[in-house]
Structure 1
Amino acid sequence: MDSSTTLIAITIAVALLFDFTNGFHDTANAVATAIATGALRPKVAVAMSAVCNLAGAFVSVAVAKTISGGIIDERAGIRPPVILAALAGAVLWNLATWLLGIPSSSSHALVGGLIGATVASVGLQGVNGMAVVGKILVPAVLSPLIGGVVAYAATRAAGRLSGPERGAGRDGRAGRGTERAGGSRARAGQVLAAALVSLAHGTGDGQKTMGVITLTLVTAGSLPAGSAPPLWVIVTAGLTMALGTYTGGRRIIRTLGTGLTRLGPRQGCVAQTSAAAVLLTTSHLGFAVSTTHAVTGSVAGAGLATPGGDLSRTTVRAMLVSWVLTLPAAGLVAALAVLLTEQGAWGQDATAALLLCATLAFWARSRRTAVTARSVAPAAATAADTAAATSAAGSTAAATATA
């Protein structure tokens, strides 16, 4: 195998590593509230989410085209070493925020990596600024706001129609009786809503890896510019994300399920349905919207609309800091990685080796403070657990600020 073929193979392998981290990083977006309210057991929830993620990968390729040819100008001289560096930045940011239990955007980590690597390699002319603003930055601001407003209004309307359902509050001491009173219909609705969010996640985020692999093949001359993802790319990316989803991502499930606010079954159903509507609509339009932003906004909106509900200021602050830093942080790491990947075959091999070592180091560090399925189940969602989650969230603000 010649050096160019080896580089393409390494880049595709790292793209699939990103896809895997995206799967376990963003599992919480679909199933956190369903687990927190007892609608689904953790293992059942992640298995269902994995299947729906796989199905979602086959729904559309509009977002993949935005990634492969919308944000980055394929004719600006972008080559596979640049994409490898971009993926390195995205993977490292995903692993760091996962270890700290922060619901950060895998989508924005990938976009930040692509922009940073491209600018470092060929300059600003390699980036389509209008596409970045119109399909990345504007949706990044609007998606949590729209999800929050829709969830707030729907929660208030549901309360007027069927009576109040008080939130549990972050201390976990109130709302357990109302949670049981929500009945099987609310829980069944929440299961369906969780499936819809998982489908939307596969439709949106699964396409991002397809787009990166397609961009790699285009820049290597294996596909013509403007090509849609080949079938093998769709299948491979879908299966990899499903596998990553099945591993769980329990750290972020704990933060999003109980660290931000507490929801009853009806509120959780409204929040997830609102998020699914936003995500499926934006994916159809080709906007690279963050699943994390849409779901978090919807959960916050449902929590604020609930009598007795509140939000953890510590968690909100840490999440906002992480959201703001995602694009520039991933871009900076990618820009530095370009200095190595453009040195030739040895630099590209070194980048892949360093990324593998970093991945193993993050995994080993996570074993010191393992989060089990029992830790995210409702019975275990005590004040101590919530304090641990919000403490981890709070540490991210300091950690990212000094990074």
Structure 2
Amino acid sequence: MDHITFLVSMVIVTALAFDFTNGFHDTANAMATSIATGALRPKVAVAISGVLNLAGAFLSTEVARTISGGIVADNLVTPGMIFAGLIGAIVWNLVTWLLGLPSSSSHALFGGLIGAVWVGAGRKGVHFNEVLDKILIPAVASPVVAGVAALAATYFTYRLTRRSDGDTVAKGFRTGQIASASLVSLAHGTNDAQKTMGVITLALISCGALAPGSGPPVWVILTAGLAIATGTYIGGWRIIRTMGKGIVDIQSPQGFAAESASTAVILTSANMGFALSTTQVCSGGILGAGVGRRLAEVRWGTAGQMALAWLVTLPAAAAVGAVAASVVVHGGTLGTVLIALAAAAVAAVIVVLSRRSPVDAGNVNDASTVPVRQVANAKAGV
């Protein structure tokens, strides 16, 4: 522990803060459809999801190794760069949460790190081949695979049950959703909690506390799992509403198909070390389930807003991370404190704005409107 300086301590605290925002930002991935169909009560759903996110954190560390020694050169990275990258990720997570847009927390983290390391260490500090192979290609392929799988599962489900009693079918699939949503939460823990483990491990390697190529210590696994589980239990109700009600008016067979397809994709990728976005996978599954049901209404306008958020997440977080890095790297401890205070001020403003149009467990299943318009109205005092 002698190697852990003030800056490294700040990195660890900030990484856990990001993990917390990741939890409440991405709760919707696992539980939105189960809440929307009534399979689980909202508060019960987030409690189950939180516990299983913690359990999932202990199942694998392959994604953590991708972060700590894959996308950036660990021998060139400093704790200040990591801190700046985390600030970029947290700010973007909070902005998209305010807007109710299910953007990718994973890509926010990758973008923040890439921008900060590029400014701090130059282009050679980023392994762009790894970024392409382990991040960008899976980002395109994973929602498509999940969507096609959910489409096929939904189509055949309705074909096979078309002569059965509708109420019985719905009740059976709502029960099935408890299991399928739980598996998504477990899968989310194996994938997303590991990203914070990887960041903390990278910081420990950069200061000499761990040898290059090391995996995350047990205390890192435990604290990262607890942070994401706590954030998950808080519940990102704005994004839950968008995914549960804003994309498609989902029924229980569709919810079961979407969750099952998403689980398969996430768990497979986690074991292969692909740090994909669970948000994109689950959104792809929901869209596929919507298309797979005859006469289902898919709200393509909301889907288009989500796709736009996906496109700008990585570069937007990279820009914030780059600006933060330019202050931290050259400003030392003072620069670190200034950036931390600026990030805290931004977070406070976002929380205040969110209270002007609150979404919680009581109204999460109300009809979803265009998220950006809600925020614009809130700012105008409408």
TM-score, scaled relative to structure 1: 0.90
Partner of 1:153: 152
Match of 2:123 in 1: 124
Separation in structure 2 between the aligned mates of residue 108 and residue 138 of structure 1, nearest angstrom: 12
CA distance in 2, matches of 1:98, 1:224: 37
Write out per-residue CA displacement over residues 303-346 of structure 1, whole angstroms, 9 at most, x where no aligned residue: 00101112112201111110000010000000000111111111
Instruction: Output one character per residue of 1:233-283: Cα deviation in whole Å (capped at 9) or x when no partner.
Output: 000000010000000100000000000001111110011000000000000
Partner of residue 380, structure 2: none
Counterpart Cα distance in 1 of 2:334 and 2:39 = 51
* Contact map agreement 1:315 1:394 (CA 8 A) in 2: no
The equivalent residue for 1:302 is 289
Q: Which residue type is aligned with residue 125 of structure 2?
A: G
Q: Take 2:374 and 2:284, find their aligned partners in 1: how far apart are those partners?
A: 21
Structure 2 spans left out of the alignment, 5+ residues: 377-382
Find the aligned partners of 1:4 and 1:288 in 2 and give their Cα distance. Answer: 27
Q: Does 1:256 align with 2:243?
A: yes
Query: In the alignment, what sits opposite 1:392?
Result: 371
2:304 to 317, 333, 340: 317
Paired position in structure 1 for 2:106: 107
Preserved CA contact (<8 Å) 2:357 2:374: no
Indicate whether 1:85 and 2:72 are aligned.
no
Q: Which amino acid aligns with 2:227?
A: T
Corresponding position of 1:192: 179
User: How many residues are matched?
Assistant: 375
Kindly indicate whether the alpha-carbon contact (under 8 Å) linking 2:97 and 2:238 is maintained by their aligned counterparts in 1: yes
- CA distance in structure 1 between the aligned counterparts of 2:2 and 2:158, rounded to whole angstroms: 64
Aligned-partner SS, 1:59:
coil
Task: Tell me the CA shift for residue 54 of structure 1.
Answer: 0.4
Give the aligned partner of residue 73 of structure 2.
Answer: 73
2:334 paired residue among 331, 346, 353: 346
> Aligned partner of 1:333: which letter?
V
Give the alignment partner of residue 363 of structure 2, picking from 370, 375, 383: 375
Which of 343, 347, 352 is matched with 1:355 structurally?
A: 343
Any idea what the Cα deviations from partners look like across 1:96-152, whole Å, max 9, x if unmatched? 000000000000000001111111111111111111000000000001000000001
- In the alignment, the residues of structure 2 paired with residue 159 and residue 313 of structure 1 have an alpha-carbon distance, to the nearest angstrom, of 22
State how far apart, in whole Å, the 2-side matches of 1:258 and 1:4 are. 46
Report the AA paired with residue 115 of structure 2.
Answer: G
Q: Which amino acid aligns with 2:371?
A: A
Worse-superposed segment, 152-161 or 131-140: 152-161
Q: CA deviation at 1:159?
A: 1.7
Please tell me the residue identity of whatever aligns with 1:101: G
Q: Is the 8 A contact 1:14 1:88 kept in 2?
A: yes
Correspondence 1:44 to 2:59? no
Which residue of 1 is the match for residue 206 of structure 2?
219
Partner in structure 2 of residue 29 of structure 1: 29
Letter paired with 1:92: V
Q: 1:306 to 1:101 in 2, by over 3 A?
A: same
Give yes or no for contact 1:46–1:245 (8 Å, CA) kept in 2. Answer: yes
Q: Which runs of 5+ in 1 are unaligned?
A: 166-176, 398-403
Q: For residues 158-237 of structure 1, what are the structure 2 equivalents within 5 Å? A: 158-163=157-162, 178=166, 180-237=167-224
**TM-fit CA distance, 1:184:** 2.9
- How far does the alpha carbon of each residue in 1:54-82 deviate from its partner, in whole angstroms, 9 at most, with x for none? 0000000000000000001112x210000
Cα deviation, residue 181, structure 1: 4.4
8 Å CA contact 2:135–2:275 kept in 1: the answer is yes
Distance 1:215 1:328 in 2: 22
Q: Which of these residues, 261, 266, 275, is aligned with residue 253 of structure 2? A: 266
User: What is the deviation of 1:92?
Assistant: 0.3
Query: Which residue in the other structure is 2:324 paired with?
Result: 337
Aligned to 2:60: 60
Is contact 2:88–2:321 with CA below 8 Å preserved after alignment?
yes
- Matched AA of 2:284: G
Q: CA–CA distance in 1 between the matches of 2:163 and 2:225?
A: 40
For residue 192 of structure 1, report the CA deviation from its aligned partner. 0.4
Q: Shift in Å at residue 364 of structure 1?
A: 1.6
Give, in whole Å, the separation in 1 of the partners of 2:374 and 2:213. 43
**Counterpart Cα distance in 2 of 1:318 and 1:6:** 40
* CA-to-aligned-CA distance 1:147-194 (integer Å, 9 cap, x gap): 0000011111112211189xxxxxxxxxxx95x443432111101010
What is the TM-score with the length of structure 2 in the denominator?
0.95
In the TM superposition, what is the alpha-carbon distance from 1:215 to its structure 2 partner? 0.3
For residues 364-396 of structure 1, what are the alpha-carbon distances to aligned partners after superposition, in whole Å with 9 as ceiling and x for unaligned? 21111111212123xxx3xxx22x2xx215679
CA distance in 1, matches of 2:286, 2:293: 11
